[in-house]
A = this chain, B = another copy of it.
Protein backbone atom coordinates (compact mmCIF):
# COMPACT_ATOMS: atom_id res chain seq x y z
CA UNK A 1 0.00 0.00 0.00
CA UNK A 2 1.18 3.46 -0.82
CA UNK A 3 2.04 5.60 2.17
CA UNK A 4 -0.38 8.45 2.92
CA UNK A 5 2.63 10.71 2.46
CA UNK A 6 3.44 9.22 -0.97
CA UNK A 7 3.81 12.56 -2.73
CA UNK A 8 6.25 14.05 -0.28
CA UNK A 9 10.00 14.32 -0.80
CA UNK A 10 12.39 12.07 1.09
CA UNK A 11 15.94 13.19 1.71
CA UNK A 12 19.20 11.78 3.03
CA UNK A 13 19.94 12.64 6.64
CA UNK A 14 23.54 12.65 7.81
CA UNK A 15 25.03 13.10 11.26
CA UNK A 16 28.31 14.99 11.66
CA UNK A 17 30.27 14.78 14.92
CA UNK A 18 32.32 17.71 16.20
CA UNK A 19 34.69 16.49 18.90
CA UNK A 20 36.70 19.10 20.76
CA UNK A 21 39.41 17.83 23.08
CA UNK A 22 41.61 19.39 25.78
CA UNK A 23 45.04 17.87 26.42
CA UNK A 24 46.04 20.02 29.41
CA UNK A 25 47.42 22.78 27.21
CA UNK A 26 45.42 23.20 24.04
CA UNK A 27 41.93 22.79 22.63
CA UNK A 28 41.94 20.53 19.62
CA UNK A 29 39.47 19.31 17.03
CA UNK A 30 39.27 15.70 15.86
CA UNK A 31 39.14 15.18 12.10
CA UNK A 32 39.24 12.34 9.59
CA UNK A 33 40.02 12.20 5.90
CA UNK A 34 36.89 11.66 3.85
CA UNK A 35 36.77 8.11 2.48
CA UNK A 36 34.47 8.59 -0.50
CA UNK A 37 33.91 10.88 -3.46
CA UNK A 38 33.23 13.77 -3.75
CA UNK A 39 36.06 15.46 -1.85
CA UNK A 40 37.72 12.09 -1.07
CA UNK A 41 40.87 12.53 1.01
CA UNK A 42 39.99 16.01 2.30
CA UNK A 43 39.62 16.74 6.01
CA UNK A 44 36.16 16.26 7.38
CA UNK A 45 34.13 15.89 10.54
CA UNK A 46 33.16 12.31 11.34
CA UNK A 47 29.97 11.81 9.38
CA UNK A 48 27.59 9.24 7.96
CA UNK A 49 23.96 8.69 7.04
CA UNK A 50 21.30 7.55 9.48
CA UNK A 51 19.87 4.06 9.05
CA UNK A 52 16.17 3.22 8.82
CA UNK A 53 15.75 1.89 12.35
CA UNK A 54 18.07 3.97 14.49
CA UNK A 55 17.50 7.08 16.57
CA UNK A 56 19.63 10.17 15.96
CA UNK A 57 21.64 9.61 19.14
CA UNK A 58 22.27 5.99 18.20
CA UNK A 59 23.40 7.05 14.72
CA UNK A 60 25.73 9.69 16.18
CA UNK A 61 27.37 7.12 18.45
CA UNK A 62 27.67 4.50 15.73
CA UNK A 63 29.18 7.00 13.27
CA UNK A 64 31.66 8.35 15.82
CA UNK A 65 32.75 4.85 16.78
CA UNK A 66 33.07 3.65 13.19
CA UNK A 67 35.28 6.60 12.23
CA UNK A 68 37.39 6.99 15.35
CA UNK A 69 36.93 4.06 17.73
CA UNK A 70 35.56 6.44 20.38
CA UNK A 71 32.75 5.09 22.56
CA UNK A 72 30.57 6.50 25.32
CA UNK A 73 31.17 10.11 24.42
CA UNK A 74 28.20 12.21 25.49
CA UNK A 75 27.37 14.39 22.51
CA UNK A 76 24.89 17.23 22.44
CA UNK A 77 22.79 18.05 19.40
CA UNK A 78 23.96 21.35 17.97
CA UNK A 79 21.82 22.18 14.95
CA UNK A 80 20.34 20.69 11.81
CA UNK A 81 22.01 22.12 8.70
CA UNK A 82 19.71 22.03 5.72
CA UNK A 83 20.87 24.30 2.90
CA UNK A 84 19.59 22.56 -0.25
CA UNK A 85 23.02 22.48 -1.97
CA UNK A 86 25.19 21.67 1.03
CA UNK A 87 26.16 18.27 -0.38
CA UNK A 88 26.92 18.54 -4.12
CA UNK A 89 25.83 14.96 -4.87
CA UNK A 90 22.30 15.08 -3.62
CA UNK A 91 20.25 16.92 -1.05
CA UNK A 92 21.31 15.71 2.38
CA UNK A 93 20.40 17.29 5.68
CA UNK A 94 23.03 17.08 8.38
CA UNK A 95 22.41 17.10 12.09
CA UNK A 96 25.56 18.22 13.88
CA UNK A 97 26.42 16.79 17.30
CA UNK A 98 29.26 18.02 19.49
CA UNK A 99 31.22 17.19 22.62
CA UNK A 100 34.21 18.44 24.56
CA UNK A 101 36.36 15.64 25.98
CA UNK A 102 39.54 15.09 27.95
CA UNK A 103 41.98 13.86 25.30
CA UNK A 104 44.00 11.71 27.70
CA UNK A 105 40.93 9.88 28.90
CA UNK A 106 40.18 8.59 25.40
CA UNK A 107 43.73 8.07 24.17
CA UNK A 108 43.54 4.29 24.08
CA UNK A 109 40.27 4.12 22.13
CA UNK A 110 41.63 6.39 19.45
CA UNK A 111 43.99 3.79 18.04
CA UNK A 112 46.04 4.30 14.90
CA UNK A 113 43.92 2.07 12.76
CA UNK A 114 41.33 4.83 12.51
CA UNK A 115 43.58 7.59 11.17
CA UNK A 116 41.60 10.20 13.08
CA UNK A 117 43.79 13.19 13.93
CA UNK A 118 43.72 15.99 16.47
CA UNK A 119 44.29 19.50 15.09
CA UNK A 120 44.94 22.60 17.15
CA UNK A 121 41.69 24.55 17.01
CA UNK A 122 43.66 27.55 15.74
CA UNK A 123 45.10 25.49 12.90
CA UNK A 124 42.14 23.60 11.54
CA UNK A 125 42.51 22.93 7.78
CA UNK A 126 39.79 23.79 5.29
CA UNK A 127 36.98 21.30 5.73
CA UNK A 128 34.55 19.81 3.23
CA UNK A 129 31.01 21.12 2.58
CA UNK A 130 29.70 23.30 5.43
CA UNK A 131 31.79 21.59 8.11
CA UNK A 132 33.75 24.76 8.77
CA UNK A 133 30.50 26.55 9.58
CA UNK A 134 29.48 23.71 11.91
CA UNK A 135 32.77 24.00 13.79
CA UNK A 136 32.42 27.78 14.13
CA UNK A 137 28.93 27.40 15.51
CA UNK A 138 30.00 24.69 17.97
CA UNK A 139 32.93 26.86 19.10
CA UNK A 140 30.61 29.78 19.76
CA UNK A 141 28.19 27.56 21.60
CA UNK A 142 31.04 26.30 23.78
CA UNK A 143 32.29 29.81 24.52
CA UNK A 144 28.82 31.00 25.33
CA UNK A 145 28.14 28.14 27.71
CA UNK A 146 31.57 28.35 29.32
CA UNK A 147 31.04 32.05 30.03
CA UNK A 148 27.78 31.38 31.84
CA UNK A 149 28.44 28.04 33.49
CA UNK A 150 31.50 26.51 35.12
CA UNK A 151 31.45 23.56 32.70
CA UNK A 152 35.13 23.70 31.89
CA UNK A 153 36.17 22.41 35.31
CA UNK A 154 35.00 19.03 34.17
CA UNK A 155 37.93 18.81 31.80
CA UNK A 156 40.56 19.23 34.51
CA UNK A 157 41.95 16.55 36.82
CA UNK A 158 40.53 16.42 40.36
CA UNK A 159 43.41 18.54 41.63
CA UNK A 160 44.51 21.37 39.38
CA UNK A 161 46.41 24.63 39.57
CA UNK A 162 45.21 28.12 38.62
CA UNK A 163 47.72 28.28 35.74
CA UNK A 164 46.20 25.05 34.35
CA UNK A 165 42.71 26.50 34.58
CA UNK A 166 43.91 29.69 32.92
CA UNK A 167 45.42 27.71 30.04
CA UNK A 168 42.07 26.07 29.45
CA UNK A 169 40.15 29.36 29.39
CA UNK A 170 42.78 30.92 27.16
CA UNK A 171 42.50 28.01 24.77
CA UNK A 172 38.72 28.22 24.59
CA UNK A 173 38.65 31.99 24.04
CA UNK A 174 41.84 32.15 22.01
CA UNK A 175 42.97 35.05 24.22
CA UNK A 176 45.52 35.83 26.92
CA UNK A 177 44.34 36.87 30.35
CA UNK A 178 46.38 38.77 32.90
CA UNK A 179 47.60 36.16 35.47
CA UNK A 180 46.83 38.12 38.62
CA UNK A 181 43.50 39.28 37.40
CA UNK A 182 42.53 35.79 36.33
CA UNK A 183 43.55 34.32 39.64
CA UNK A 184 41.71 36.97 41.65
CA UNK A 185 38.51 36.58 39.67
CA UNK A 186 38.50 32.81 39.73
CA UNK A 187 39.13 32.74 43.48
CA UNK A 188 36.38 35.29 44.08
CA UNK A 189 33.79 32.83 42.74
CA UNK A 190 34.35 30.78 45.91
CA UNK A 191 34.25 27.64 43.76
CA UNK A 192 37.80 26.51 44.49
CA UNK A 193 39.19 24.86 47.62
CA UNK A 194 42.90 25.41 48.17
CA UNK A 195 44.95 22.28 48.88
CA UNK A 196 48.10 22.00 50.98
CA UNK A 197 50.34 20.64 48.24
CA UNK A 198 51.91 22.54 45.41
CA UNK A 199 52.69 21.55 41.85
CA UNK A 200 56.47 22.13 41.69
CA UNK A 201 57.03 20.71 38.23
CA UNK A 202 55.95 23.69 36.17
CA UNK A 203 57.55 26.59 38.03
CA UNK A 204 60.26 27.20 40.64
CA UNK A 205 57.91 28.90 43.06
CA UNK A 206 55.31 26.19 42.61
CA UNK A 207 51.54 26.63 42.29
CA UNK A 208 49.03 25.45 44.86
CA UNK A 209 46.61 22.77 43.85
CA UNK A 210 42.90 23.42 44.10
CA UNK A 211 39.84 21.23 44.09
CA UNK A 212 36.39 22.18 42.92
CA UNK A 213 33.81 22.84 45.65
CA UNK A 214 31.18 20.52 44.22
CA UNK A 215 28.33 21.75 46.40
CA UNK A 216 28.87 25.34 45.43
CA UNK A 217 29.44 24.31 41.84
CA UNK A 218 25.99 22.77 41.68
CA UNK A 219 24.31 25.89 43.07
CA UNK A 220 26.52 28.34 41.35
CA UNK A 221 24.65 29.06 38.20
CA UNK A 222 23.71 32.69 38.39
CA UNK A 223 20.22 33.67 37.48
CA UNK A 224 19.40 36.98 35.89
CA UNK A 225 16.78 37.51 38.54
CA UNK A 226 17.58 35.82 41.79
CA UNK A 227 14.05 34.70 42.43
CA UNK A 228 14.60 32.06 39.79
CA UNK A 229 17.07 30.21 41.93
CA UNK A 230 18.47 27.69 39.53
CA UNK A 231 17.90 27.90 35.82
CA UNK A 232 19.87 24.67 35.50
CA UNK A 233 16.76 22.76 36.46
CA UNK A 234 15.18 23.88 33.23
CA UNK A 235 18.05 22.58 31.20
CA UNK A 236 17.25 19.45 29.34
CA UNK A 237 19.57 16.64 28.37
CA UNK A 238 20.11 18.33 25.05
CA UNK A 239 21.41 21.49 26.66
CA UNK A 240 23.68 20.06 29.27
CA UNK A 241 27.12 20.20 27.76
Interface residues of A (CB under 8 A from B): 3-5, 8-13, 36-38, 49-56, 77, 79-80, 82-84, 89-93, 95, 137, 140-141, 143-144, 146-150, 169, 173, 177, 181-182, 185-186, 189, 220, 222-228, 231, 234-236, 238-239
Contacts and interface: CB of A to CB of B under 8 A. Distances in A.
12 contacts: A4-B38, A8-B49, A9-B12, A9-B51, A54-B84, A56-B80, A77-B79, A140-B236, A143-B234, A146-B224, A146-B228, A148-B224
A238 B89 contact: no
Contacts of A9: 12, 49-52
Contact of A90 (B3, B55, B147, B181): B3
Nearest to A37: B4
Given A11-B11, A147-B234, A53 B84 contact: yes
B11 A50 contact: yes
A6 B133 CA distance: 27
A11 B9 CA distance: 8
A185 B227 contact: yes
B189 A228 contact: no
A151 to B, nearest CB: 9
A145 to B, nearest CB: 8
A181 B77 CA distance: 38
Given A77-B80, A80-B80, A95-B80, A225 B140 contact: no
Nearest to A89: B4
A83 B55 CA distance: 5
Contact of A224 (B12, B54, B150, B226): B150
A235 B140 contact: yes
Nearest to A144: B234
Contacts of A173: 228
Q: Which of A3, A49, A227 has the most CB of B within 10 A?
A: A227
Contacts of A91: 52
Nearest to A143: B234
Given A8-B12, A231-B144, A224 B149 contact: yes
A95 B95 CA distance: 10
Nearest to A220: B224
Nearest to A181: B227
A239 B13 contact: no
